[in-house]
Amino acid sequence: MSIPMTQLGSRAFHHEENPDVEREYDNLRALARAEADKRGDCYERSKRAYEDGDGARAKELSNQGKAHDAKMKEYNRQASDYIFRENNAPGRVDGDSIDLHGQFVEEAERILEQRIRADQARGQTHLHAIVGKGNHSSNHVQKLKPKVEELCRELGLQYSTEENAGRIYINLQGGEPVPPQHG
């Protein structure tokens, strides 16, 4: 399964943009896309070599494709880690919140599940997941929110969309999703 990789631009941020951070993030995603293209080319050439009866060349190209796949995954991991650190740096979000902007769906799911389990182990009662409203997704369709909701259901957690439709309140204790009242 390939992860669609599109340049996210300012979508990666939930706070004031930093051109240097944006550039580094976009560069890492671009490197990943380039490796994905090389991977696809190697696999296509491998298939043709196999069909032409050149099994040794097919194997060599397949191995090259696997190497490009590993590089692609590493660049995407670096981009995910980088933007996560930026978006969740001290002072950027409250301690009971996690900002998933700039993450691919699979990355966001992995990160959120780790955070949920860690917060539950520490006795935290709730978590606010910042997923965005989908304003920067193709056709303005939210991609992270449905996956976060699915993860909550799988983990047996109650959740609700907050007044800001780009945030989800998650009750880490499994009860009714009643966000704390601020005031």
Which DSSP string corresponds to 99-161? E-TT--HHHHHHHHHHHHHHHHHTT--EEEEE---STTSGGG--SHHHHHHHHHHHTT-EEEE
pLDDT at 68 exceeding the cut of 60:
yes
Two tokens at 21?
Answer: 């951070």
Q: Which residue would you say has higher pLDDT here, 133 or 21? A: 21
What whole-number distance in Å separates Cα of residue 22 and Cα of residue 45? 35
For 178, the 3-state DSSP assignment is coil
pLDDT at 4 exceeding the cut of 50:
no
What whole-number distance in Å separates Cα of residue 131 and Cα of residue 142? 8
Name every residue whose Cβ is closer than 8 Å to that of residue 54 and which is 6 or more positions away in sequence.
Answer: none
The least confident of 16-20, 103-107, 148-152 is 16-20
Q: Which amino acid is at 161?
A: T
CATH of the structural domain 97-171, one choice from 3.30.1370.110, 3.40.50.720, 2.70.98.10, 1.10.1270.20: 3.30.1370.110
pLDDT at 164: 79
pLDDT at 9: 38
What whole-number distance in Å separates Cα of residue 92 and Cα of residue 49? 52
The least confident of 40-49, 70-79, 171-180 is 171-180
User: Order of strands, edge to edge, in the sheet holding 167-171?
Assistant: 97-99, 126-130, 167-171, 158-161
Q: What is the pTM of this model?
A: 0.81
Task: Give strand pairing partners of 90.
Answer: 93
